[in-house]
Structure 1
Amino acid sequence: MLQNSPSKPRALRIGLIANRSHQDAPDSALVQLLRGSRDAIAHLQPEWIVVGRTLDAIISHDLLSACGQHQRFPYGREGGLMKLVARVVDSDPLRAVDAVIYLIDPVDPSSVFPEAQALKRQCVIHKKPFLSTLASAREWLDLEAVANGAAANPALNASYALQHEGIALIAHDAMKERMLAMAEKHFALLDQFSHRYATGTTGGLLNQLAQKIKGEQAGRNWVQPFMSGPLGGDAQIAELVLDRKIRRILFLEDPHVARQHEADIQLLERAARTVSNFALVVSETGGADRWLELISKRMALAC
């Protein structure tokens, strides 16, 4: 966590926004998040930076007490989302947010507005979690609470039974070495997944790593490789996400280069957001290493 002083860590500061379809209904993603993660939120006691209408929805569902300390930002049409982007990049620890929860409806046109795309990109650049599905937000809050000494949320235990889970491992060219280093560091954890999937070259490199660690035969098909992203690999993995065969996607993106297959990348993220209560995508390199470490810790509590 960031600190106000050498002796006293400050609370997490989390940006929060939800598209309209994830706000209004009694069982909306926003309501499920605040109710289902109530214990984790109470333990962490974060400060929320909430964009206008999302805070209105929290109040209308009588969930302000579950939210706790908060600051209202303007409505999105009045620049609230733009201001949240500025807080992601702010160098002042008294203003900057540490993570962003943006519950995205994949058919809401506002989710592809420039400020929405910039929010995700800047989170990746500044290595801050960008949590765009209900599943990702609930898991992140659960893991952070466990890291701070809280009891694990038993409602999420089944998702940590990795012997029944699939994971996708994807990395852009400039990130492949980081992916290999991360996979080697967390190999014991990744080896527990029922299935591992990857696109193109990344899959081949990961299988070479597995052969080095497990032996030539045992590691040969450690990862199931699909086509490269530009040739359709992202779409192949997206289908498995929609079929609920892949819950977690580790996608190490390079935000600094033009990507000719940007539509394919967005398709994969859109698939995860379509099954918002099931799938999640982790893109920022800083958070990915911590995420895998905390899953290992959390699994010990789920078993």
Structure 2
Amino acid sequence: MRMGLAANALHHDHDDAALFRWLRQCEPGIRELRLGLHAVGRTYAAIDRAGLLADYPGLVRYPYGHEGGLMKLVAEVVGMPGAERALDGAIYLINPVDPSSTFPEAVALKRQCVIHQKPFISTLASARDWIEMERIHAGLPPDPGADALHALEQQTIALIAHDAMKPQMVAYAADHFDVLSRFARRIATGTTGQQLNELAWSQGWPQEQPWVERYQSGPMGGDAQIADMVLERCCQRAIFFEDAHVARQHEADIQLLERAVTTVTDEAVCMTSPRVAMRWAEAVRRRRGLRAG
């Protein structure tokens, strides 16, 4: 498995920056998985200076951003001729107030990950969570250091979907109703929340009790309301099924939610495609079974 890797300067400009904390936490898992990390120049240089992933052949240097490094990651997420020119997703630790996070190549990297149903990982918590997910799928034992991320009974999850993706969100919730029901609280924007409540009632959830707490619809400010929940550390995980093929009338509100997630990088996990969300739910079941065993 090969992943693109980049981090805005905030996340590698001091010893306890997010990139380094992630690598210290996850270096054993990265080595166990033999994960290829194709790092753009400045990120690669920071890892090298910190002495992390020393002598690890899976760490590959790409050009600096101003030399086209991030653009190359975009092309390889899409897939270039030859197996060695394909990436399985991207880890891009974003500083939401860094202008480079809105450069065309940064926006395109996320968009192509969404289109091709590949993980786009933009926070420290998401990166930590993803490594544990892949470890579980590889048959490795649960990492106790990831237990806090799996304390679903103490967490709130946001379930959000663009109009074209609402049927997939409802289908996803039906397939993984047991996992999603473990959360202490579920929240959603208006129409998605109503459809999910109707699903839950059809599954036997008490009719007088909403399964999902509904906020305003996205165009009416629901994304902003959920962004505030994320910033207040009251929402730890978001599943956001995006339709990358349509113009988004409430683009600014959606960007607000995305910026909120990256602002609390240590605590917020975000998944943006059905394929990644399904793989996560399957890993939750396996991990709980291993813990119980």
Give the TM interval when normalised to the shorter protein: over 0.9
Deviates more, 1:270-279 or 1:86-95: 86-95
The 2-side partners of 1:169 and 1:296 are apart by: 19
Partner of 1:25: 14
**Aligned counterpart, 2:152:** 162
TM-score by length of 2: 0.96
Please report the TM-score for the alignment, with normalisation by the length of structure 1. Answer: 0.93
Which of 196, 202, 215 lines up with 2:192 in the alignment?
202
Question: Partner of 2:49 in structure 1?
Answer: 60
Q: Does 1:226 align with 2:215?
A: yes
Q: For 1:217 and 1:90, how far apart are their aligned partners in 2?
A: 47
Aligned-pair CA distance for 1:285: 2.1
Q: How does 1:1-303 map to 2 (within 5 A)?
A: 12-65=1-54, 68-90=57-79, 92-217=82-207, 220-302=209-291
Partner letter of residue 232 of structure 1?
G
Distance 2:121 2:27 in 1: 17
The Cα shift of 1:67 comes to: 5.2
- Which whole-Å CA distance do the structure 2 matches of 1:217 and 1:66 have between them? 58
* Matched-pair identity in %: 53
Alpha-carbon distance in 1 for matches of 2:166, 2:20: 38
**Whole-Å Cα distance in 1 between the matches of residues 56 and 196 of structure 2?**
41
SS of the residue corresponding to residue 118 of structure 2 reads coil
What stretches of structure 1 of length at least 5 have no aligned partner?
A: 1-11
- Displacement of 1:297 after TM fit? 1.7
Cα separation, partners in 2 of 1:228 and 1:101, compared to 1, 3 Å:
same
Query: Counterpart of 1:76 in structure 2: which amino acid?
Result: G
Residues of 1 paired with 2:33 and 2:141: CA distance?
Answer: 12
Shift of 1:296: 2.0
The structural deviation recorded for 1:59 is 0.7
Q: Is contact 2:18–2:124 with CA below 8 Å preserved after alignment?
A: yes
For residues 36 and 19 of structure 1, the distance between their equivalents in structure 2, rounded to whole angstroms, comes to 19
Distance in 2 (alpha carbons) for counterparts of 1:261 and 1:140: 29
Q: Tell me the distance in 1 between the aligned counterparts of 2:151 and 2:38.
A: 33
SS at match of 2:234: coil
AA aligned to 1:167 is I
What is the rounded CA distance, in whole Å, between the counterparts of 2:280 and 2:55 in structure 1? 24
Counterpart residue identity of residue 237, structure 2: R
Residues 267/221 of structure 1: CA separation in 2 closer, same or farther (3 Å cut): same
Given that 1:41 and 1:66 are in contact with CA atoms closer than 8 Å, whether structure 2 keeps it comes out as no
CA RMSD between the two structures: 1.4
Amino acid at match of 1:258: A
What count of residue pairs does the alignment treat as equivalent?
291
Cα separation, 2, equivalents of 1:302 and 1:18: 33
Secondary structure (helix, strand or coil) at the match of 1:159 reads helix
Question: Alpha carbons of 1:178 and 1:279: their partners in 2 closer, same or farther (altered >3 Å)?
Answer: same
Aligned-pair CA distance for 1:197: 0.3
1:149 alignment partner, SS class: coil
Work out whether residues 14 and 98 of structure 1, in 8 Å CA contact, stay in contact via their aligned partners in 2: yes
